[in-house]
Structure 1
């Protein structure tokens, strides 16, 4: 079987899933290829940075295609390349998400939902009736889709994102009394990742600690300004290559993740596999799938900088607890979230869907192309960011 995975090479969780699935499904006779669209996909396909990934996929259409032309180019590429089915990362790109509604009936289609935001759920609902199966990458996503958005219980499953544990070396933690080494690894985006809480967390910690911040994003400049007064304690490395992540994790004691929302963060599990103890926001059905508070990491209420600081202080002052949690974190990640287990679950899903295809909506004629509700901007789009952030925090703390 030959499947297209909607997306293109980039530094991020959805492409990490592709790399792992590509390798994990190949022994089962499933050839998985990325299929991109748009200017960023063309840059990735022709640039030097992702040269090793360029032969694993292709780009549809031209960089200047409008949305409808892009849809037509995607469908033409799927037909030309003889793909039997597709994976769509819902809401990653609205043209690719919408493309699902126009595919020929013979194409198997699986939706992967990577986040817990209302916008992501609205996009998933827009194509719900046009896919044979839906994968939520966390328990929370599946529960929300089934209970709140009418997704079929039997066609909606959980497959957590996996890691290649063999690529992550574990280093012992907790042996010394030097400053605790904290690491933030991810997109520098306060709306999702809560990065502007990091300096406030540091201010609540009297013990010697250092913080390394790696990544890039829209709030990088704001974050650096917010770190005034922390010279010597915070270093910003900017974006790092995926090949450097293992070494970074090995050099740090604690991964700090003050996110407002996630789907199922690969970074969290990679850190745990390396023995880097997570101190993360409690996102029900997401971070607590991997982190058991006090056993293999620490969880704190979203936005509670004092609780986050207390978790770090506890690890800084009790290095035996740090060492114990480090070992438990590594064991959890390697036993429960390996890429082989993820690939086996996807293979079983594809076998089941191929053998007994559920009925889905008929393809829509391209002459009637449009973006449906859920893929257009809604009222929530126009809410000020502080309002949306406040609503998210209330939902996570009290829902």
Structure 2
């Protein structure tokens, strides 16, 4: 089976999942190749040196409109002999919508990476044209099945995972200097809660150090709120290959997110024995972290509680070591590439052997975006209002 996985090579979780999944599915004779739409002039990041050999991109910027882009994409899928496509919902609106227009013999799988109303609206918009849905967290599957009528037998939970070979066991001999705290991810407050980091850090022990890794729209605001000092380092974006060593050099991963799907950084940190202190997101972070056994959770937005947890670990190094060992055991038991690939292969093969009926393909000449793929009313709400609504939803 040969599948097109809709993603462009980038330093981020979705492409990391692609590389892990491609490697894991190879023993099942399932070939995964990336296929993406380039909307600008930027090239592939040089740290992703093997990306060009693993897929291909289409220059959407050179095409007159979305309809012609969709036509070119559909032609490429057929010409390359793909048996099916894997759509990452809302990663690109044209690629999300293309499943409604593909030839009937093409299998269509969608992956739901987030728990936002916008993501669910997009998933619902294309659901009649999709053979199976894969949710990276339990929360997304429960919401789609219970509240949006997705068929339970065709809606799977398969969490993101890592290869433990990439995270060799490190000597974490107890040190008596301050804790080394890490944030790794997109520097964006709306989803990642990065502008809560300064207060968490200010309330943390005075000997702690904080490393910020990543890039994003709120980086200037975060820099302004965390003045340069010997205790704070900004490393910018780093390559995928650098992540294991980076995690190994830190004691605690701070993850103050407002919402997530199943963050790769969380699983990567735990694989390296870096203890997560993360927002308690029902069906998301609590699906990975068993609070008090392999990491620590705090109510969304509760900066004081997050800092208290940092203080507690700083004063109890044996507990830090216990949580670190538990975190790695959790990944080895539940979040390995081998386990993820086995479950994907089972879902993909089962669907290919007996494809369920789906809605008839639409003619590409009638290309249009359904309402679920167009901006909704929430898009126009002020950022602080949306952030307040997200906090209230999770607290309730």
TM score, norm. by length of structure 2: 0.97
The answer to whether structure 1 residue 377 and structure 2 residue 375 are counterparts is yes
1:147 counterpart residue number: 146
8 Å Cα contact 1:193/1:257 also seen in 2: yes
1:51 counterpart residue number: 49
Q: CA 1:71/1:298 → structure 2, altered by over 3 Å: closer, same or farther?
A: same
Query: What pairs up with 1:57-68 in 2 under 5 angstroms?
Result: 57-65=55-63, 66-68=65-67
8 Å Cα contact 1:201/1:308 also seen in 2: yes
TM score, norm. by length of structure 1: 0.96
2:131 counterpart residue number: 132
The answer to whether structure 1 residue 29 and structure 2 residue 41 are counterparts is no
SS at match of 2:371: coil
1:257 counterpart residue number: 255
Distance 1:93 1:123 in 2: 11
8 Å Cα contact 1:4/1:32 also seen in 2: yes
1:164 counterpart residue number: 163
Distance 1:39 1:170 in 2: 41
Task: Measure how far apart 1:207 and its partner are.
Answer: 4.3
Task: Measure how far apart 1:148 and its partner are.
Answer: 1.3
8 Å Cα contact 1:9/1:50 also seen in 2: yes
SS at match of 2:372: coil
1:86 counterpart residue number: 85
Which segment drifts farther, 170-179 or 79-88? 170-179
Task: Measure how far apart 1:134 and its partner are.
Answer: 0.2
8 Å Cα contact 2:67/2:365 also seen in 1: no
Distance 1:174 1:136 in 2: 38
1:244 counterpart residue number: 242
2:269 counterpart residue number: 271
Distance 1:18 1:155 in 2: 21
SS at match of 1:36: strand
Task: Measure how far apart 1:290 and its partner are.
Answer: 1.1
2:111 counterpart residue number: 112
Aligned-pair Cα RMSD in Å: 1.3
1:38 counterpart residue number: 38
Alignment match of 1:394 (pick from 387, 392, 395): 392
Distance 2:85 2:78 in 1: 11
Alignment match of 1:325 (pick from 314, 317, 323): 323
SS at match of 1:8: coil
Distance 1:147 1:277 in 2: 33
Structure 2 unpaired stretches of 5+: none
Q: CA 1:252/1:206 → structure 2, altered by over 3 Å: closer, same or farther?
A: closer
Task: Measure how far apart 1:202 and its partner are.
Answer: 1.4
8 Å Cα contact 1:9/1:44 also seen in 2: no
